[in-house]
Amino acid sequence: MPDIPDIINPFYEVRILSVTKEVQGVSTYILARPDGIPLTYRAGQFITFTAQHRHKEERRTYSISSCPALNEPFSITVKRVENGYYSRMLIDNAQPGDLLLSTGCAGLFTLPDENDYEQVFLLAAGIGITPVFSLLKEILHTKPATHVTLIYSNRSKEETVFYNALQDLLIQFPERFQIAFLYSSAFDIARARLSKALLPVLLQEYGKANKDKMLFYVCGPFTYMRMVLLTLEELGINSAQVKKENFNTEIRNAVHVVPPDTTTRTVTIKTQQHQYNFPVVYPDSILQAAKKQQVMLPYSCETGRCGSCVAICSGGRVWHSYNEVLTDADIAAGRILTCTGHPVYGDVTLDL
Ligand SMILES: Cc1cc2nc3c(=O)[nH]c(=O)nc-3n(C[C@H](O)[C@H](O)[C@H](O)COP(=O)(O)OP(=O)(O)OC[C@H]3O[C@@H](n4cnc5c(N)ncnc54)[C@H](O)[C@@H]3O)c2cc1C
Ligand code: FES
């Protein structure tokens, strides 16, 4: 175990129970805690792992592909990334019995509590299917009045993760579930790649509800997500109806932005058992300042793109240098990101 303080976010071990190859370079890992404590999560969430690599703590996040409502064994599905440190370790070397160190499950790519929607469109490309597969099973099995359409892009049928399981769901739920498989290798180029032109056609073809009764979930590579999000915006879909999960959290076109107030402020973090106070001195974010004080908050990407570090602001104001995960509704509900959040205009209290 790494020698890292675990004040707020205790680390725990998870054991790999089985490894199943899905397609070339992609495997599903069934995991469980050796201490028998169940891994609790919501459909669409992810689990974060921590490891020491070249004397530095690295964190990696993987969406959970199993479905909690079905009580399925907890699983993640991982794609090997060329030259990737953690994914290669899993795909090339991990075996049943191996232990991984986790910081827990989190994420906002989940179903809304209120079921105001009549149709859910799930848009996934490649390994972006993992959280979408969990959401799909959850909706089909627990929301009997909701139609679901999966628009799923891959290079070919052979590279399509969960192809057979999706076919089984089509047979099981013929009235409420439809899939548009798109293959970039397809002969008919008009139906090969999802594009600005094809997306409205598919929404028209598969649409069962009024536009304002649709909910969208999008997960795939950066350029795919950018195209889908822009197209939905142009089609007049409200941003509150669109949820996105971004797997690639590298900083792109970093723009240096300065908070409107850079005065040193005190941040108080409250958990059920403890309270911590520490100064946040610009340019540190709340997370960076907490790390310096050995207060280990949850985090993964540290770039405002994954949602691992969400906290509730119960006093004061937090300004974000970057935020790709919180919606206006999240912010109105007091959610903030500690990794890119800075206290402004006064001290701040956060609940975890
Ligand atoms: C919220 C969230 C959920 C995720 N869920 C999944 C999942 O379900 N399944 C899954 O396989 N992965 C998932 N990822 C991606 C995963 O966390 C890692 O980023 C990925 O496995 C690469 O890690 P690595 O250590 O192997 O590569 P690294 O050592 O971090 O990177 C090696 C090289 O690969 C490039 N690279 C890094 N990440 C990616 C990426 N995601 N895509 C393309 N190139 C990349 C880097 O530029 C670098 O050159 C998720 C990420 C996030 C933030
Ligand atoms: S750690 Fe990923 S958004 Fe903050």
Parse the chain into domains and list their residue ranges: 12-106, 119-245, 265-351
Q: How many CB atoms lie within 10 A of CB 161?
A: 23
Q: What is the pLDDT of residue 272?
A: 81
Which of the four CATH numbers 3.60.15.10, 3.30.70.260, 2.40.30.10, 1.10.3720.10 does domain 12-106 have?
Answer: 2.40.30.10
Distance 249 CA to ligand 1 centre (A): 8
- In the block, residue with structure tokens 């598919």: 202
Q: How many CB atoms lie within 10 A of CB 27?
A: 20
119 in ligand 1 pocket by Cβ < 6 Å?
no
- Phi then psi dihedrals of residue 117, to 5 deg: -105, 145
How far the first Cα of the chain sits from its last, in Å, is: 24
Which residues lie across from 32 on neighbouring strands? Answer: 15
Domain 119-245 is in which class?
alpha beta
Distance 341 CA to ligand 2 centre (A): 10
Cβ-proximal residues to 331 (8 Å cutoff; 6+ apart), any chain = none
For residues 220, 226, 230, 235, the Cα torsion angle rounded to the nearest 10 degrees is -10
- Phi then psi dihedrals of residue 161, to 5 deg: -70, 135
Ligand 1 atom with the smallest distance to the CA of 307 is 1
Distance 299 CA to ligand 2 centre (A): 5
175 in ligand 1 pocket by Cβ < 6 Å?
no
- Phi then psi dihedrals of residue 329, to 5 deg: -65, -40
Q: What is the pLDDT of residue 116?
A: 85
Burial-class residue 124 by CB neighbours within 10 Å (0-12, 13-18, 19+): buried
Ligand 2 atom with the smallest distance to the CA of 302 is 1
250 in ligand 1 pocket by Cβ < 6 Å?
yes
Q: What is the pLDDT along the chain (352 residues), one digit of tens a residue?
A: 333 344 565 789 999 999 999 999 999 999 999 999 999 999 999 999 999 888 888 999 999 999 999 999 999 999 999 999 999 999 999 999 999 999 999 999 999 988 789 999 999 999 999 999 999 999 999 999 999 999 999 999 999 999 999 999 999 999 999 999 999 988 888 889 999 999 999 999 999 999 999 999 999 998 999 999 999 999 999 999 999 998 987 766 566 789 999 999 999 999 888 899 999 999 999 999 999 998 889 999 999 989 999 999 999 999 999 998 898 889 999 999 999 999 999 999 999 8
Enter the pTM of the model: 0.92
Query: Atom 3 (ligand 2): residue with closest C-alpha?
Result: 304
- Estimate the crossing angle of helix 163-172 against helix 129-142, to 10 degrees: 20
Give SS3 for 17: strand
Of all ligands present, the nearest one to the C-alpha of 307 is 2
Distance 87 CA to ligand 1 centre (A): 7
* Ligand 2, pocket residues at CB < 6 Å: 299-302, 304-309, 325, 337, 339
Distance 117 CA to ligand 2 centre (A): 28
Query: Atom 28 (ligand 1): residue with closest C-alpha?
Result: 84
Long-range contacts of 308-311 (CB under 8 A, 24+ apart): 308/46, 308/48, 308/61, 308/103, 308/106, 308/107, 309/337, 309/338, 309/339, 310/106, 310/108, 310/335, 310/336, 310/337, 311/269, 311/335, 311/336, 311/337, 311/338, 311/350, 311/351, 311/352
Tokens of 99: 């232990």
Cα 288 to Cα 309: distance, rounded to the nearest angstrom: 12
Q: What is the pLDDT of residue 274?
A: 84
> How far apart, in Å, are the Cα atoms of 220 and each of 19, 151, 152, 228, 244?
23, 11, 10, 10, 9
Distance 175 CA to ligand 2 centre (A): 39
The fold of the 265-351 domain, in CATH, is: Ubiquitin-like (UB roll) (3.10.20)
Q: What is the pLDDT of residue 1?
A: 31
